[in-house]
Amino acid sequence: MTEISKINHKIIETLRSSAYMSDAEVVECLSFFELRSYHKKDFFLREGEVCRLRGYVNKGCFRRYITNTHGKEVILHFALEDWWIGDLESMINKQPSVFNIQALEDSEVFCISEDEHERLCSAMPKYFSLHEEKARRSHFASLKRLALAQAGTPEDKFLQLMKQQPQLFQRVPMHYIASYLGIEPESLSRLRKRLSEKEKKS
């Protein structure tokens, strides 16, 4: 029991604070997962593959992107620590994914297959509840992101990203942020300059 409290894993923090697990329960829960390392630029999932794993980002950062009809990469999300990655639809329906999930830093991911996930949900109601809550919040977030993608200006999107994932700006190259905002890197520079001048004035 003393061992686990010494390990500095984000997932342990989450299982304790959000799922209210005891140390013994954390140990049991983690026994269902496999910890995998991804080097910067490695893929967790590639377009055309069937997704086999759910992943919990314990350390690092990933981008989820698709290739549009003009062959251009467009970033949909950045997944930092405490995010789940994967493509549930591909996994459940056993169909090729349209998404790419790539590490932007050397990263550590706690991975679990769909079968093990189901077993874990049955074995540990606390994990099941955590998962349900995460799924619900992820659904709400995707609806809001859709509203922003559909109706927001690049400035709205930039300000929202600054609010929700401020650490991204220190960790991710600016051309990725531009891709997420749907603008060219030069437009992002101008946007940042404009906003910082606005801030100085106010």
Interacting residues toward a second copy by CB under 8 A: 66, 68-70, 72, 74, 76, 88-89, 92, 98-99, 135-136, 138-140, 142-147, 149-153, 156, 182
Q: Is 128 exposed, middle or buried (0-12, 13-18, 19+ CB in 10 A)?
A: middle
Min dist. Cβ of residue 2 to a second copy (A): 39
DSSP-assigned letter for residue 50: B
Q: Which is nearer to a second copy, 39 or 72 (CB)?
A: 72
Min dist. Cβ of residue 133 to a second copy (A): 11
Q: Which is nearer to a second copy, 22 or 138 (CB)?
A: 138
Min dist. Cβ of residue 8 to a second copy (A): 32
Q: Which is nearer to a second copy, 7 or 146 (CB)?
A: 146
CA distance 103 to 90: 19
Min dist. Cβ of residue 39 to a second copy (A): 26
* Other C-beta atoms lying within 10 Å of the C-beta of residue 115: 8
Cβ proximity of 92 and 53 under 8 Å = no
Pinpoint the alpha helices (H) of 81-184. Answer: 88-93, 114-123, 125-151, 154-164, 168-171, 174-181
Q: Which is nearer to a second copy, 73 or 197 (CB)?
A: 73
